[in-house]
A and B are shown apart, each in its own frame.
Chain A
Amino acid sequence: MASLKKYLGVIWILLGLYVGYDRITDSLAKIGSNSLEDRVFGWVVLLVLVPIVVGGLILFGKYALEGEYSERAKE
């Protein structure tokens, strides 16, 4: 289980990168839209959601790969 938790770190990093790519392309399309709601929504996703998901998942994956969660998660 410890090694599974560790190596799944790669998946979390890749997931972070994929979500980042997917949301950035979608947000840019929304920012270019004629609808005001779409534009604001695009900026919110780009500036708020993307940094949290990408940064958070990559860092979480890095810690998992380093074995930080391999022992007892609540220490």
Chain B
Amino acid sequence: MIGNRAKARQAIDKRTLFSVISASSVGTLIEWYDFYIFGSLAAILSSQFFPKDNPTAALLSTLATFAAGFIVRPFGALVFGRLGDLVGRKYTFLVTLVLMGGSTFAIGLVPGYATIGFWAPLLVLLLRLVQGLALGGEYGGAATYVAEYAPEGRRGYYTSFIQTTATLGLFVSLGVILLTREALGVDTFADWGWRVPFLLSILLVAVSILIRMRMAESPLFAKLKTEGKVSKNPLAESFGKKQNLKMVLLALFGATAGQGVIWYTGQFYALSFIQKACNVEFVQSNIIVAIALLVATPFFIVFGGWSDRIGRKPIMLLGMALGILTYRPIYDMMYSLTDLTQKQEITDARTIDRKLSSQPNGDRLTTTTTTHFYADGTTLKETERVIRGEATAKPAPAEVTKAVTLPTNNLLLMILLVFVQVLYVTMVYGPIAAFLVELFPTRIRYTSMSLPYHIGNGVFGGLTPFIATALVATATKANEAAPGTVDKPYLEGLWYPILVGGVCLVIGLLYVTNSTSERVEE
């Protein structure tokens, strides 16, 4: 009888736990989805809201990209972390969800620059700031909430479900964008169809809010509240007391900074490299990343679960070490798969297609598409667009775009190379929620863990694409000025994640203690 009762209780607890995980994960997935669609649609949005020929609008565009990407997130961590430690986890991350969903939906409704002028970029910038703030508050709440429900010894496993949501959010955003684009056609999508992924998010948010409303407060926070032990000033306690501040710094320099650069390299820089350095065609490049993400996602849970047995530290640091050691050969291989100078062109098969069309202002647009075929099955589509004005006007410089389409075997190899990088992401990211939760006491946990997480991911990680691109540009310029100065300039961008990851690896190895399951009740 007693045995049956214990079994029933265990079953209920497990059911409750999975409801908690579902409610938290769906919310974070939607937040990441909301966050990524802006990045994925950056090119279309910049033409709708931020015309490049207007310097003020262009400035707002750059700020909107930078601001929500990483500048505002640590502030969101402070604001909502404090609220979460004062009021509770449940209500705080309910607020962040509403703010995120509402602002994403609103971006889908903002009229373009052509209709309302400067209000368009200004409104989008403001909504992006709200998005960044909300994202800064969401993750800490969800991770803390799940961890405070999870049983001793299984915290890594259960919190790893939250860790899958960032990757799944990116995956879902790519899927929705590709499907909408396919359904509406490229031109309609560029005209108004891009609004659909933004507007769709409101349905997902409504469902998530309903699920979250039904959840109870985290048991550890509720206990703290009943006992009157809730922190009166979580910010001062987190960052004003040496014993907490030193752990915040250790979390940042010994774990999250390295995790952030590995994450952004594997999931974002890889896509940018495939599109810009390798010139792989838009749909194919997104398919490569989407498949790699989908196949690698279960490993978040695998590594999260392992971290309960062998500890968080060895898994996270191994992921960092593998990234540091193998990024250069991996990216070199990715480049060589698309390096047309190493391929033999079938010159007889080359096709040229020329189209003439009139522009609204009377100018003539000549579009010449040359398709090159290579012996290994690779094709290159070179599109040259030349606009010629009135007979007296100077012709504008030709705009040339290249799109490489890979044959099946090279495509599979490219997917494998991205998959390996995402596997490193799952190693560093899978156990980190449990690691951070176990580092800080319940009364200041939301505040203390959110800040190093968002500085590590937002600032160190978020800067990866920008710094890497700047390093490549500098190396390319140096090579143009004096050929041969830098060997393989396209690999220079990897020095940033390698160096940040290297410092973090050394600090993590020396200073971080391995843990499998610390007590988190205090």
Interface residues of A (CB under 8 A from B): 1, 4-5, 8, 12, 15, 36-37, 40-41, 44-45, 48-49, 52, 56-57, 59-60, 63-64, 68-69, 72-75
Bound: A75/B438 CA distance, A: 10
What's the tally of chain B residues with a CB closer than 8 Å to chain A?
32
Bound: A45/B242 CA distance, A: 27
Interface residues of B (CB under 8 A from A): 55, 58-59, 62-63, 66, 70-71, 242-243, 245-247, 249-250, 252-253, 438-439, 455, 459, 463, 466, 470, 503, 507, 510-513, 515, 518
| A21 CB to nearest chain B CB (Å) | 15
A41: contacting residue among B58, B470, B503, CB under 8 A:
B470
CB-based contact B459/A52 at 8 Å = yes
Knowing A56-B252, A56-B253, A63-B249, say if A73 contacts B62 (CB, 8 Å).
no
| A65 CB to nearest chain B CB (Å) | 12
Chain A residue at minimum C-beta to C-beta distance from B499: A19
Query: Which 7 pairs between the two chains have the least Cβ-Cβ distance?
Result: A60-B249, A40-B62, A74-B513, A73-B513, A63-B246, A69-B511, A68-B246
CB-based contact B62/A69 at 8 Å = no
A36: contacting residue among B62, B246, B470, B511, CB under 8 A:
B62
Chain B residues with CB under 8 Å of A74's CB are 247, 438-439, 512-513, 515, 518
Chain A residues with CB under 8 Å of B507's CB are 12, 60
CB-based contact B246/A69 at 8 Å = yes
CB-based contact B246/A44 at 8 Å = no
| A55 CB to nearest chain B CB (Å) | 10
CB-based contact A48/B459 at 8 Å = yes
Chain B residues with CB under 8 Å of A57's CB are 253
Q: Can you report 8 A-B residue pairs in the complex whose CB atoms are below 8 A from each other? A: A12-B507, A41-B470, A44-B71, A48-B70, A48-B459, A49-B463, A63-B246, A73-B513
CB-based contact B510/A4 at 8 Å = yes
A59: contacting residue among B249, B439, B511, B512, CB under 8 A:
B249
